[in-house]
A and B are shown apart, each in its own frame.
Chain A
Amino acid sequence: MDNITKKLMQRSESTRKDTIGRAISMTALILIAIVVVSIFVFVLSRGLSTFYKDGVNVKYFLFGTTWNPSVTDPATKKPYIGALPMILGSFLVTFLSAIVATPFAIGTALFMTEIAQKRGAKIMQPIVELLVGIPSVVYGFIGLTVVVPVIRTIAGGSGFGILSGTIVLFVMILPTITSMTVDTLKSVPRHYRESALAIGATRWQMIYKVVLRAATPGILTAIVFGMARAFGEALAVQMVIGNAALMPHSLTTPASTLTSVLTMGIGNTVMGSLQNDVLWTLAMILLIMSLVFNLIVRAIGRRGAMK
């Protein structure tokens, strides 16, 4: 009798294993959370030291138009660390590539879900997946050997610049936006389409007046994701943009983005120097922007869910 009571009171072998398993899997999860927190702590602490340690004015940094950290401005006795050219360059390539990519992405997604469901998905699905899979350096290499020379012959100049960056990024973010748009279009209930067709709408009227309207929040989310990818893309852009930290005056003159200056600069500066700190501040801006894109996606999701 005693033995049975003991057995009943004791935690079983299964329960013990379950506790251990739960603990192991939770540890893995917490590890990921710690990584995310430490990325923020480290990059923010280095990025903010430009303002704390080196006493740089935030406004001067964000809106200054001359970038040359190793040279001191004789008038103000401060180094040239205006980051506006790169910030502007990043935003320009991001918005332009999103503007170009969106119609292509929506068109392709409509083709796959509305026009030719079976054939379209069979042909375009692998194409979109292959486009996602191509590494960014290969995009950069193609940009360098095809896009840049073409633009050089058409527009003159060196061929490097915002336009080349936009074209390369357009192809890179196209599959991202397309596949997410396909998912939202698929989630539009079938009876929406049937009702529209039943009251005599043509297929295009059905797509334009019903399906696209219902899918708008999802499509916006897809575009923001594409923009986040474009904003953070480093090497492909760096290879074709020309890497001149100048205010972009035209689409075909060399410019630079936050990521291109970072990839070029970090290895050539000494840890802890002002020249190095300002680069970390650029990395911090990248980090904050990726957070902002996340928040926008969330806001769209909430707005879309409420209706």
Chain B
Amino acid sequence: MKAKTADKIATGFIYAISGIVALILFAMLSFILVRGVPHLSWHFLTSPARAFEAGGGVGVQLFNSFYLLILAMVISFPIALGAAIYLNEYAKKNYFTAIVRTAIEILSSLPSVVVGLFGFLLFVVQFKLGFSILSGAIALTLFNLPLLTRSIETSLAQIPDLQREAGSALGLSRWETVLHVILPAAVPSIVTGVVLSAGRVFGEAAALIYTAGQSAPALNFGDWNPFNISSPLNPMRPAETLAVHIWKINSEGIMPDVNAVSAGASAVLIIVVLLFNFSARKLGMKLYKKLTSS
């Protein structure tokens, strides 16, 4: 039976290919964790980086990453939410909608380095914001907007039309239905989408090297006045993030322990991104259980 042999061979092949893919992931994860985790310590996570000598940490970079992430999320979430609500609830099938949808699609497929360069051109140079957290946060927003909009729109679209009809039947306007019926029902999957996109934003570097800059000035963690230059909260200071730091020291780092630092930093980055990925689903499910009667 020739066909049966071919079937067996093909099945074996497909099994082998899937096995290889799984192996690649496990090899990469274990490589990063085995190489990086031994370097992790409280000192490594909290002390500032050193340019010329061993023993530096990634404290400032880690803080910058989270600060930029929060700022970028604060800016991009309302815009994405509004756009998604319009696209899913109001938009008619017309020329305008088609163009805007195309625009969002194009934005989502733009290379992040181009988004970063645009941020550099407009915010860093034109608006004279300089290499700053603010420029970086806006660049990350541009990078994040199309994906977040699409994920929120999908969440809204999953709510059955029955809910909208029920809202209308109660005499609610469309906006009130969205606000009081659709959004609460969509919260779990919106949260999942937001946390997943946070993981992506956290690891992004190409959009940041020319917007948030590649230097991390020392911070005074006792000073929380956002207008002071050494305050961690100052949005106008340059801020190298963890991902940018990994890139930077691998391209031109000259400290003697560059391998150890980048292995440790990669491990931190991976662990945070994995945490985001795992918690996204957990959080969504938990919220779903809490918010619905099921």
Contacts and interface: CB of A to CB of B under 8 A. Distances in A.
Given A108-B21, A259-B113, A32 B103 contact: yes
Interface in B224-269: 243-244, 246-247, 250-251, 259, 262-263, 266, 269
B60 interface: no
Contact of B110 (A12, A232, A263, A267): A232
Given A115-B15, A131-B25, A135-B269, A39 B115 contact: yes
A129 to B, nearest CB: 7
B277 A136 contact: no
B18 A259 contact: no
B190 interface: no
Given A107-B14, A235-B206, A39 B28 contact: no
A203 B203 contact: no
B250 A107 contact: no
B109 A135 contact: no
B107 A35 contact: yes
A290 B257 CA distance: 39
Contacts of B202: 135
Contacts of B17: 103-104, 107-108, 111
A209 B35 CA distance: 46
Interface in B56-113: 78-83, 85-87, 89-90, 99-100, 103-107, 109-113
A136 B204 CA distance: 7
Contacts of B142: 35, 39
Given A32-B145, A290-B110, A21 B18 contact: no
Interface in A168-201: 171, 174, 178, 201
A204 B3 CA distance: 8
A305 interface: no
Interface residues on A, range: 35 or more
A104 B269 contact: no
Chain B contact residues, majority secondary structure: helix
A93 to B, nearest CB: 13
A36 B10 CA distance: 45
A35 B87 CA distance: 17
Contacts of B276: 133
B11 interface: yes
Given A115-B14, A234-B113, A141 B262 contact: yes
B54 interface: no
A63 B248 CA distance: 32
Contact of B18 (A17, A111, A225): A111
B6 A204 contact: yes
A140 to B, nearest CB: 7
A14 B173 contact: yes
A222 to B, nearest CB: 13
Given A35-B142, A39-B115, A104-B21, A29 B87 contact: yes
A232 B15 CA distance: 31
B205 A136 contact: yes
B114 A138 contact: no
Contact of A138 (B25, B32, B121): B32
Contacts of B13: 107
B172 A14 contact: yes
Given A263-B206, A293-B109, A104 B20 contact: yes
Contact of A232 (B20, B112, B243): B112
Given A28-B86, A104-B21, A136-B203, A267 B107 contact: no
Contacts of A267: 209-210, 214
Please indicate which of the listed interface residues A171, A174, A235 has the most CB atoms of chain B within 10 Å of its own CB: A235
A134 B251 CA distance: 19
Contacts, number: 254
A290 B118 contact: no
Given A133-B200, A203-B11, A20 B175 contact: yes
Interface stretch (A54-62, A120-128, A245-253): A120-128
A123 B145 contact: no
A26 B86 CA distance: 6
Nearest to A37: B103
A259 B111 contact: yes
Interface stretch (A1-9, A71-79, A142-150, A154-162): A142-150
A267 B120 CA distance: 10
A117 interface: no
B82 A137 contact: no
A286 interface: yes
A266 B14 contact: no
Contact of B274 (A130, A140, A202): A130
Please indicate which of the listed interface residues B21, B31, B90 has the most CB atoms of chain A within 10 Å of its own CB: B21
7 contacts: A18-B176, A24-B82, A32-B146, A127-B25, A134-B28, A140-B250, A232-B111
Interface of B: 3-4, 6-7, 10-11, 13-15, 17-18, 20-22, 24-25, 28-29, 31-32, 35, 78-83, 85-87, 89-90, 99-100, 103-107, 109-115, 117-118, 120-122, 125, 142, 145-146, 149, 171-176, 178-179, 199-200, 202-206, 209-210, 214, 243-244, 246-247, 250-251, 259, 262-263, 266, 269-270, 273-274, 276-277
Given A204-B7, A266-B210, 9 more contacts: A28-B81, A130-B274, A133-B276, A135-B273, A141-B266, A202-B6, A232-B110, A286-B111, A291-B106
